[in-house]
């Protein structure tokens, strides 16, 4: 259940729908998603295009998506919010000045879709998801250590790849071919 509070992404919902009663699942998901949508909508409303520029600078992929969607009519932003109520899309809706009523309706439509889909998938895959939950309950320390080890090794590989790229390019600005003193 803590997983739903920490990260209410759609891919985790069937696992949680198996382990929680439907009413509790619906209430917690609604509260958590409403909090996310509300906060990031307010950020988009407050900072406008500067917030979009900041998000675009942080992620080139999202930058291209935001640039393409911000030029579209308001209805496109609403439909994207229904389909994907991610933080980026909430910032986009806020900066596009979509009314809070429309954002609320998009959130409601997206929640109904997510709840129905999660419950359907949970019922279809009840046995495998139940076995996975049993495994997670039986070996929490080993699984946690394995995940931490994978994360540390992935970070080490990314660091090595980044250092190799910096050295090949001759530093960040091309003025230090040895790569010493660069981050």
Residue 153 has pLDDT above 90, yes or no: yes
Whole-angstrom CA distances from 52 to 37, 47, 120 are 16, 8, 35
- Alpha-carbon distances of 126 from 133, 136, 163, 164, 165, rounded to whole Å: 10, 15, 45, 46, 46
Instruction: Flag whether pLDDT at 177 surpasses 80.
Output: no
**Whole-prediction pTM value?**
0.62
Residue 141 has pLDDT above 50, yes or no: yes
Element (H, E) at 34: helix 22-58
Residue 22 has pLDDT above 70, yes or no: yes
Confidence band (pLDDT; 50, 70, 90) for 150?
Answer: very high
Interval 23-28 mean pLDDT? 86
pLDDT at 132 exceeding the cut of 90: no
7 pLDDT higher than 50: yes
Mean pLDDT of 48-60: 77
Residue of 32, 53, 147, 132 lying closest to 95 (CA atoms): 53
* Mean model confidence pLDDT for the chain: 78
Residue 173: which residues within 8 A CB-CB, separation 6 or more? none
The pLDDT value given to residue 127:
87
What pLDDT, on a 0 to 100 scale, did the predictor assign at position 4?
Answer: 55
CA distances from 140 to 16, 19, 43, 110, 152 (A): 17, 16, 37, 32, 18
Mean pLDDT across the stretch 38-52?
A: 84
Average pLDDT over residues 142-156: 90
How would residue 129 be classed by pLDDT, with cut points 50, 70 and 90?
A: confident
| Res. 128: pLDDT tops 80 | yes
Query: Once rounded to an integer, what is the mean pLDDT over residues 150-176?
Result: 78
DSSP E strands, 67-177: none
Gap between the Cα atoms of 122 and 126, Å rounded: 5
């Amino acid at each position: 259940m803590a997983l739903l509070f920490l990260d209410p992404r759609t891919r985790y919902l069937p696992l949680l729908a198996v382990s929680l009663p439907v009413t509790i699942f619906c209430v917690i998901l609604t509260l958590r998603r409403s909090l996310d949508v509300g906060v990031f909508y307010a950020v988009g409303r407050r900072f406008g295009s500067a917030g979009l520029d900041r998000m675009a600078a942080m992620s080139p992929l999202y930058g291209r998506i935001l640039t393409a969607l911000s030029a579209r009519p308001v209805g496109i932003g609403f439909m994207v919010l229904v389909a994907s109520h991610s933080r980026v899309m909430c910032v986009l809706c806020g900066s596009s000045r979509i009314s809070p009523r429309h954002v609320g309706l998009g959130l409601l439509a997206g929640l109904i879709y997510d709840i129905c889909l999660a419950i359907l998938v949970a019922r279809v895959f009840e046995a495998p998801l139940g076995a996975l939950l049993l495994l997670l309950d039986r070996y929490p320390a080993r699984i946690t250590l394995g995940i931490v080890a994978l994360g540390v090794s992935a970070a080490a590989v990314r660091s090595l790849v980044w250092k190799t790229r910096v050295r090949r390019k001759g530093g960040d600005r091309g003025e230090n071919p040895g790569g010493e003193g660069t981050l």
